[in-house]
Amino acid sequence: MPNEKDSPIFIATWDFGELAVRTAWAHWQEHGDFAAACIEATAAVELDPSIPTVGIGGLPNRDGIVELDAAIMRGSDLRCGSIAAIRTTCPAIRVAKAVMDNTKSVMLAGQGADDFAMQQGFERIDREAMLTDKTRSEYECWRAKVEAGQADREKMVGHDTVCMLGWHQGETVACVATSGLGFKRAGRVGDSPIIGAGLYADDQSGCAASTGIGEELYRHAVSVRISDAMHAGASAAEATDAVLRRMIERDQANITRGLSILAIDRHGGVGAATTRTANHKFELHVCRAGVFERIVPTPITS
């Protein structure tokens, strides 16, 4: 096993972050490529049908169709690739990687993203197969309530994005993937695939990502703000704390919204900040040199 100095650091969000960091570490041990490890870790979460906020088995939009968002950014050269509202390919993170590697574009969306995935040889997944029995039944229940006037059509649910950050000897990578808010308007895209909002990586500062109500995180371009704070000398912990506090100062309502941000600074320091308090607390999974740790950050409450 490599020693701590030579080993990468992997961090990932939510309870499924444990699957992500364990997959990343296993991949790194076998192949020694920390960026590929981050991609495959993100893909592993996307391919787990029991996770209702990411990939296959993610909650559908208000038309009953699953739409996936994903992105990757590499801090060494600022190359990035992003996919929004893709409907027939999973894992979307591999398509985002293909955008980064094989096009001059940064982002592809909607039908163009689906067509690109087919051109690149990805397997086509039928729309129905993107749903599970559980998500199909939740959707039908939601729609029945909306039609009966018992539920607000505009109220979206769930937003637990897999954010996967990797650091190795000063090099950084950020990956994110989500099915977005459940029962969202068709074509709605949150923060996740937006470079600078849902993720950012620059080896001169570090890497950062966000999870929560996408519209708020997007509005505040949180990941590039964290990156800028780290570039100015803040640690990952200081930068994430300062950016979330600034969001709250700007709009007090943010204290009650589910917002969580995370980063690794260029020295390998890890930080996270959250407003999530009671039920379903935000958690972060960290892997350093094959040692796994679960962190539940103390929420900012005022």
**Residue 214 sits in the site that holds ligand GLY (CB under 6 A):** yes
What's the CA gap between 36 and 101, in Å, rounded?
13
**Residue 55 sits in the site that holds ligand GLY (CB under 6 A):** no
**Residue 216 sits in the site that holds ligand GLY (CB under 6 A):** no
Q: Which helix (H) or strand (E) holds 37?
A: helix 34-46
Question: CB under 8 Å to 161, separation ≥6 — which residues?
Answer: 13, 53, 54, 176, 177, 178, 192, 198, 209, 210, 211
Which of 191, 238, 265, 283 forms a contact with ligand GLY (CB under 6 A)?
191
Q: Which sequence positions are flagged as catalytic?
A: 161
Residue 189 token pair: 């895209």
Position closest to ligand GLY via CB: 214
**Residue 212 sits in the site that holds ligand GLY (CB under 6 A):** yes
What's the CA gap between 22 and 4, in Å, rounded?
16
- Total residues in contact with ligand GLY, by rule CB under 6 A: 12
**Residue 190 sits in the site that holds ligand GLY (CB under 6 A):** yes
What's the CA gap between 37 and 34, in Å, rounded?
5
Q: What are phi and psi of 163, to 5 degrees?
A: -115, 125
Which of 180, 206, 268, 297 forms a contact with ligand GLY (CB under 6 A)?
180
**Residue 178 sits in the site that holds ligand GLY (CB under 6 A):** yes
Minimum CB–partner distance for residue 179 and ligand GLY (Å) = 8
Do 136 and 66 meet the contact criterion of CB atoms below 8 Å apart? no
What's the CA gap between 202 and 167, in Å, rounded?
11
Tell me whether residue 65 or residue 289 sits nearer to ligand GLY (CB atom).
Answer: 65
**Residue 274 sits in the site that holds ligand GLY (CB under 6 A):** no
Tell me whether residue 58 or residue 75 sits nearer to ligand GLY (CB atom).
Answer: 58
Q: Which stretch binds ligand GLY (CB under 6 A): 15-23, 70-78, 130-138, 208-216?
A: 208-216
Binding residues for ligand GLY (CB under 6 A): 159, 161, 178, 180-181, 190-192, 211-214
